[in-house]
Structure 1
Amino acid sequence: MTTSLPQSTDGPEKEKSVFQTRVPATIRLYLKGMAVVHYGTLKRFFDALLTQFMQQRPWEGDAPIDWMQPRSPHSVTNGRSTVTNWRVINLHLSDDVYDQAERLIQQLGVSQAVFCYTAIYWWVKYIQPPKA
């Protein structure tokens, strides 16, 4: 007699709650270190970062920040492809933060990559800059 484990009816875990952007490699390493030390996981860290960004709305007000366009991890010069210092980063988020951000992204008319890179740039420059 063989027994089998019950099959999940939900299917595989959904990847709905992931945004993707690109950041310089040094910032990517910095974010990962900060996440582990201060938040325990990247998911909690990115939830906190985007929540604070959405609450403070630094794109509004007296000195608004500009939306930042992330660069490509590859460039082509004279027909030759080269790797840049920019790396892809996935922001795994709770469904609640993801949904709030997605609604705001649609209202603002920016891409997910621009929204997330701008949030990361703002956080690294103004909220928790690296110590020199």
Structure 2
Amino acid sequence: MNTAEASAKVEPGLKSKSGAKIGRPKTRHEKLKPISTRCPAAVYTYLKGITPFLNTSLTAMFADMFDRFMNERPWESGLHWRKPKTAVSLVGKKVGSTGWIQLNISLTPEQADRVEKTATICGVSKACFCYTAIFWWVTYVYPPATKKISK
């Protein structure tokens, strides 16, 4: 097998009619491991909004969030575990939205393993652990600014 065949197997991607690669160049070369959770759509919108001020990407912000959450361990200081709600609800035969969305958080394999081990030790699901980390980040670390209207 020559080098062109080897690189084609290692890095599959879309190609134009002329054979050139299409899309953004890869900036991250390590594999990430997704962890699924759910959060309110408004919280996710807020996270996307603060990302440019804190990190280079949402993935980098999640990496920072989980490192700080696991290092500071706020559940030992009284933070309650937050159980995420489902993204859809069934009423009779009708499917409705709850306002919560599915969120796949991409972490390095080391971080993902640490999340899994810590969640198991704490007796909660990975989804619960991740949503509690998001809740803590948005509520205590980077809360939204509120305007006070003076009369």
TM-score range normalised by the length of the shorter chain: 0.7 to 0.9
Unaligned runs of 5+ in 1: none
Offset from partner CA, 1:84-103 (integer Å, 9 cap, x none): 21111111112222121111
Alignment TM-score, normalising by the size of structure 2: 0.74
How far has the Cα of 1:57 moved from its partner?
0.9
**Structure 2 residue 120 is the aligned partner of structure 1 residue 94:** no
SS at match of 1:59: helix
Aligned length: 129
2:64 matched residue in structure 1: 48
2:5 matched residue in structure 1: 5
**Structure 2 residue 37 is the aligned partner of structure 1 residue 21:** yes
Of 72, 75, 82, which residue of structure 1 is paired with 2:96? Answer: 82
Unaligned runs of 5+ in 2: 13-28, 147-151
CA distance in 1: counterparts of 2:8 and 2:142, whole angstroms: 41
Alignment TM-score, normalising by the size of structure 1: 0.84
Q: Percent identity among equivalent residues?
A: 33
Question: Does the 8 A contact of 2:119 with 2:125 survive in 1?
Answer: yes
- Which has the greater radius of gyration? 2
Question: Does the 8 A contact of 1:43 with 1:94 survive in 2?
Answer: no
**Structure 2 residue 20 is the aligned partner of structure 1 residue 34:** no
CA distance in 2: counterparts of 1:66 and 1:108, whole angstroms: 11
CA distance in 1: counterparts of 2:103 and 2:131, whole angstroms: 10
**Structure 2 residue 120 is the aligned partner of structure 1 residue 106:** yes
Higher deviation after alignment, 82-91 or 34-43: 34-43
Q: Which one has more relative contact order, counting CA pairs under 8 Å at least 6 apart? A: 1
How far has the Cα of 1:76 moved from its partner?
2.0
1:3–1:97 Cα change, 3 Å: closer
Mapping of 1:48-67 within 5 angstroms? 48-61=64-77, 64-67=78-81
